Chains A and B, each alone.
Chain A
Amino acid sequence: MGSATYSLLARNSQSDARRRRRSLISLTPLIDVVFILLIFFMLASSFSTDQAIQLAMPGAGTTEGALPGSLVRVKRDGLDLNGEPLTLDELYLRVRRLARAPGGRQFLVQPDRGVPLQRLVAVLDVLEQSGAPSVSLVRK
C-alpha cells in the first residue's frame, strides 16, 4: 500500500510539472500582447492637464465701461503705459500702484502688428501678477 501511494504521488507531481511547463509556454504570447498594450498606453496617454487664461474684450462685461482706463501698448521692441515707455518690471510696479487706487482701473492691452502672441501673454502675466482688476484686449 505504501509503495502504491508513493507511485501515485510521483505520477501526480510529474503531471503537475508538465502542466506547469505547458502553461508557461502559453504565457509567452500573453506577455507579448501585454507589453505591446503597455507601450501603446505609455506613448498615447498624456498626463498634462490644460492650462488656460481668461481673455476679455472691452464691452464684454457690463460694469467695465465705468472704470477709468489705462492703455498698455505692446510693441516689437518694448511697451508703454499711457505713452510712457517702460520695461516689464517697471510695468509691474506701476500697475500695482494703479490697481490699488480706489475704484480700480481698467487696463486695455493693445499689441502692435507683428507682435508674437508669446510677448502679449508675458505682458498679460505681469498684469495678472500685479493685481490688475480688469484687463481687456484691443486691436490696433
Chain B
Amino acid sequence: MKIDRDTKQEFREPVIVPLVNIVFLLLIFFMLVGRIAPFEALDVAPPVSGAGEQTADRPDPVVLIAADRRLALDEEEMEEDLLLSTIARLFEEDPSLTVRIKADAALEADQLIRLMESLQKLGITRLLLLTERPES
C-alpha cells in the first residue's frame, strides 16, 4: 500500500514541471510581444479601409470622436474648445505635430471634416484617420 502511494507521487512530480515551463514561456512571450492597449475614454469603432497604412509607433495625440459627436483627447473626454486649445498648445511646442483622429464608422462624415477645418485653422496639416484592416 505504502509503496503504491509513493510511486504514484513520484509519477505526478515530473508531469507538472514541463507544464510550468510552458506557462513561463507563454508568459514571457505575451510580455514581450503584446502591447498593453491604452485605456480609451470613448467607445469608438474605426472605419474599415483597405488603403490604410501602418503608422509609425509615435506618441501623437489621438482625438476620438464617438458616433454621438462626443470628443476626447487621448484618455480624457472634453469639450471642443478645450480640446482645440490643448492641441494648439501641443502644436506650439512641436510644429511638426501629427494629429491622429479615431472616428467612429457611424459618425456623419461632415462632422469629421468640420473638426479637420478647426484643426487646419490652428495650422495643423498633418492629419491621420485611424482605420481598421478589413477581415479577410
Chain A residues near B (Cβ < 8 Å): 20-21, 24, 27, 31, 34-35, 37-38, 41-42, 44-57, 59-61, 74, 111-122, 124-125, 128-129, 137-140
Contact = CB atoms under 8 A, between A and B. Distances in A.
B120 A60 contact: yes
Contacts of A120: 109, 112
B108 A128 contact: no
Nearest to A114: B108
Chain B contact residues: helix, strand, loop or mixed: mixed
Contacts of A114: 108
A62 B2 CA distance: 89
Contacts of A140: 110
B90 interface: no
Contacts of A27: 16, 20
Interface residues of B, number: 49
29 contacts: A20-B13, A27-B20, A34-B27, A35-B23, A37-B27, A42-B26, A44-B34, A49-B54, A50-B130, A51-B55, A51-B131, A52-B52, A52-B129, A52-B130, A53-B131, A54-B129, A55-B101, A55-B129, A57-B125, A60-B125, A61-B125, A114-B108, A115-B110, A116-B107, A117-B104, A121-B105, A121-B131, A125-B49, A128-B51
A128 B50 CA distance: 10
A34 B36 CA distance: 18
B47 A117 contact: yes
A76 B86 CA distance: 34
Contacts of A61: 125
A118 B47 contact: yes
Contact of B108 (A54, A60, A113, A138): A113
Given A53-B128, A129-B50, 17 more contacts: A20-B13, A24-B16, A34-B27, A46-B36, A50-B100, A51-B53, A52-B53, A52-B55, A52-B130, A53-B49, A111-B110, A111-B113, A115-B109, A116-B109, A117-B103, A117-B105, A119-B109
A122 B50 CA distance: 8
A123 to B, nearest CB: 9
Contacts of A45: 30, 33-37
